[in-house]
Chain A
Amino acid sequence: MTAQAKAGWMHRNLMLLLMMYLLLPLLATGLYAFAKDWQDSLLPDRWTFEWFGGMFRDIRFLDALWTSFYLCLISVTLSLVIMLPAVFVITIYLPRWESFMKGVVVLPYAVPGVVAAVGLIRTYSSGPIDIAGTAYLLIGAYFIAILPYMYQGIRNSLLTVSAVELLSAAELLGAHRMRAFVTVILPNIWPGVIVSTLLSFSVLFGEFVLTNMLVGGHIQTIQIYLVQRMNESGHLASAIAISYFVFILLLSMVLMKLGKRMNGGVRG
């Protein structure tokens, strides 16, 4: 369906309404973060930066930020290291397994976080591997949570560059398999892989249910800290929320740029 050059007034108003509806909560959080106090008026009376200042002086916040950051980084890196060869092998050499893989990969979508957490706790709170409440368990859970993004991302990159043919061509020109993988497959799928890695990172950064249920009492990520702070200081919490949002926004902008460049590059 081709869009008309100019949309009718009805559609314009409709979209305006929708955008207002969608942006209002964001806007409110933003204003609240900068408001000295805000009560019974349409807009705050006085503005301040003190909440943001307080946020950066708050050791616990910085700790939580750091914890979130390195937990996500470790999980994403681990996922990359494990998934890259696995998806490569499956896509190139075991295409028959692909439909089975699709099922495996869809499971984390179909099984809600609460359910996954119950299973994980049951499995690892007793018995031979007692890692309940530790970061190991959380990283394992995170790995599964981002499985769909990583699998799809890597697989699609491989298909877009028609990896099978590139590999055949390289082998006929005398390259060993490993050499061919490193010289012609990896450089070509890299942009796509980066995109899914960043996406996974942003998903994990916003993760709450697994974190809260698996390690809630022991490890404080940014989301856990936010919930705690919500009941203490609203203004501070909104400063945190808005900073978090801006961070995710920047990340997704980078993502979009990368995605566009990759599509442009491959299609030419």
Chain B
Amino acid sequence: MLGLVPFVLVILAFQFAPLLSMLTGSIRQEDGSGFTLDYYVSIIQSAYYMKAVKNSILISICSSVVGIAIGLVSAYSITRFAPAVRDRLLMLSNMTSNFAGVPLAFAYIILLGNNGVFTLLFKQWGWSVFGDFNLYSWTGLVLVYVYFQVPLALLLLYPSFYGIRDQWQEAASLLGASPWQFWRTVGLPILTPAIFGTLGILFANAMGAYATAYALVGGNYNLLAIRIGSLVSGDVVNQPQLGSALAVILALTTLLAVILNHQMTKRAAWFSSRHTLKQASRRKSLYRRFTEAKGEAG
């Protein structure tokens, strides 16, 4: 039992105390007395902060939906390969999921920045379609966000395809279903919880993403995470109450997304619990968790 003491202390000090302090900070008056919702009200009334919230949510939804679409198709495709090839492919995409945050932003600057290789090439070749592409804009951010969402979506989704038994497909075809009908009536409904669950993780991942946006656009683009970051510079919080309130808003959205994932995971487990060996599913969930957090890595 003594072994628990340092653990509990550290968790309290660095996990619960900060969250609590942030929460109370956001609803307490500046002089430290009395309850107030002023900061939340002022955020809602401020076009600037509301724009940040809107931008963040839009960019997260966009990049998650695009990411999941690519991830879904790729995950299906990957199950069609022989195991040896499949493992190689998964390893490669897992590898690229390490390439996130600052280095990723930098790579895109090399490719598509103002003096990027492709930017200059396109200009030289006269491809005007790409002429007005701007990496430091909304489209640019979505492009980079999608890049780190795809491997994550792929790694989270592909195990679910193994939950769909060949025998179900065979049974369906013997009962007269076409492949398309099978996917529409059985395959996709079974995948649905996994898809929504993954969507939750991707959304939370994009909402919380800071490093990529910071390295790419600095403080120039209005995102919630960036706004919070700029209210907190170095070791002082410029407007501590406002920063806390914004942080609480951000945490609420990601928390909701993670809860969605949790519910969906339970639902997904219900489909597969009966024929998956305990051992195997345990290992899979471990793997899931590991890849889950590898999201934006910093």
Decide if A and B are genuine partners.
yes
What is A's interface to B at a CB cutoff of 8 Å? 1-8, 11, 14-15, 18-19, 21-26, 28-29, 32, 38-42, 82-83, 85-86, 88-90, 93, 104, 106-123, 125, 132-133, 140-141, 143-144, 147-149, 152-153, 156, 159, 199, 202-203, 206-218, 223, 226-227, 230, 234, 237-238, 241, 244-245, 248-249, 252, 256, 263
B234 touches A245 (CB 8 A): no
Chain B 222-233: CB-based contact to A (< 8 A → 1; otherwise 0): 000100110011
What is B's interface to A at a CB cutoff of 8 Å? 1-4, 6-8, 10-11, 13-15, 17-22, 25, 70, 73-74, 77-83, 85-86, 89, 91-96, 98-104, 106-111, 115, 117, 120-121, 123-124, 147, 150-151, 161-162, 164-166, 204, 207-211, 214-215, 225, 228-229, 232-237, 240, 243-244, 247-248, 250-251, 254-255, 258, 262, 282-283, 286, 289-290, 292-294, 297-298
Taking the closest CB of chain B, its distance from the CB of A168, in whole angstroms, is 19
Closest residue of chain A to B208 (Cβ to Cβ) is A112
User: Among the interface residues B110, B165, B244, B282, which one has the most CB atoms of the partner chain A within 10 A?
Assistant: B110
B6 touches A22 (CB 8 A): no
A209 touches B298 (CB 8 A): yes
Known: A29-B107, A109-B292, A227-B102. A252 touches B254 (CB 8 A): no
A11 touches B297 (CB 8 A): no
Which label, helix, strand, loop or mixed, suits the secondary structure of the A interface?
helix
**A to B CB contacts below 8 Å, 29 in the list:** A3-B79, A7-B85, A14-B77, A18-B74, A19-B89, A21-B147, A22-B93, A38-B117, A40-B120, A85-B4, A86-B3, A86-B6, A90-B4, A107-B19, A109-B204, A109-B258, A110-B204, A118-B232, A119-B18, A123-B17, A125-B236, A143-B14, A144-B11, A147-B11, A213-B229, A216-B233, A218-B235, A238-B110, A245-B103
B81 touches A11 (CB 8 A): yes
A14 touches B73 (CB 8 A): yes
Closest residue of chain B to A217 (Cβ to Cβ) is B234
Alpha-carbon gap, A213 to B81, bound state (A): 44
Alpha-carbon gap, A28 to B89, bound state (A): 20
Taking the closest CB of chain A, its distance from the CB of B298, in whole angstroms, is 4
Query: Among the listed B79, B80, B166, which residue makes an inter-chain contact with A8, where contact means beta carbons less than 8 Å apart?
Result: B80
A22 touches B92 (CB 8 A): yes
A86 touches B7 (CB 8 A): yes
B244 touches A118 (CB 8 A): yes
Alpha-carbon gap, A245 to B99, bound state (A): 7
Alpha-carbon gap, A245 to B96, bound state (A): 9
Query: Among the listed B82, B164, B250, which residue makes an inter-chain contact with A5, where contact means beta carbons less than 8 Å apart?
Result: B82
Taking the closest CB of chain A, its distance from the CB of B45, in whole angstroms, is 21
Known: A111-B19, A125-B236. A156 touches B282 (CB 8 A): yes
Q: Which residues of B contact A115 (CB under 8 A)?
A: 22, 208, 228, 247-248, 250-251, 254
Q: Which residues of B contact A207 (CB under 8 A)?
A: 297-298
Q: Which residues of B contact A215 (CB under 8 A)?
A: 235
Known: A111-B251, A202-B98, A206-B297. A1 touches B14 (CB 8 A): no
Q: Report, nearest first, the 10 A-B pairs whose CB atoms are least far apart.
A: A112-B208, A119-B18, A85-B3, A86-B7, A25-B107, A208-B298, A133-B235, A208-B211, A119-B22, A132-B235
Query: Among the listed B91, B106, B166, B244, which residue makes an inter-chain contact with A226, where contact means beta carbons less than 8 Å apart?
Result: B106
